[in-house]
Amino acid sequence: MQMHKEAILTPNAPQPIGPYSQAIQAGPWLFCSGQIALDPKSGQVVAPTDVEGQTKQVMLNIKGVLDQAGVGFDNVVKTTIFLKSMGDFPKVNEVYGGYFKKTPPARSTVEVSRLPKDVLVEVEVIALKNS
């Protein structure tokens, strides 16, 4: 049986600037590309030196993609957080945690040497659409 694959695109998250989709719906699974703190309208980095402000924008961008796919944060089963500095983990965790009130998803957090546009945080998610 071949699984149907559909690209998800919304104006409520930054537009792809390369050969990738904001998200791919494959059967009941939604695989979201990593989001950084870009304002969807201007394309500019939000809060260039403030990891909390960047994390808020990242989560708003993720919400835009999830909404377009017809799911919410409660459907997220796995996240990966990429940080420029692990020292920012407590601040990112505080903002991030506000979006997962019920059962938080599985998560990995890694420190990386550099992120696109020199942002401080990037988050990618995988969600499961309820049947």
Q: Residues 48-53: contacts with CB within 8 Å, 24+ apart?
A: 48/119, 49/120, 51/88, 51/91, 51/92, 51/120, 51/121, 52/91, 52/92, 52/94, 52/95
Q: Tell me the C-alpha distance between 99 and 97, whole Å.
A: 5
Smallest CA-to-CA distance from 12 within 20, 23, 4, 26 is with 23
pLDDT digits (tens, 9 = 90+) for 47-97: 999 999 999 999 999 999 999 999 999 999 999 999 999 999 999 999 999
pLDDT digits (tens, 9 = 90+) for 102-117: 899 999 999 999 999 9
Say what the pTM is: 0.95
Q: What is the mean pLDDT of the chain?
A: 96
Ordered domains of the chain (ranges, CATH) = 5-128 (3.30.1330.40)
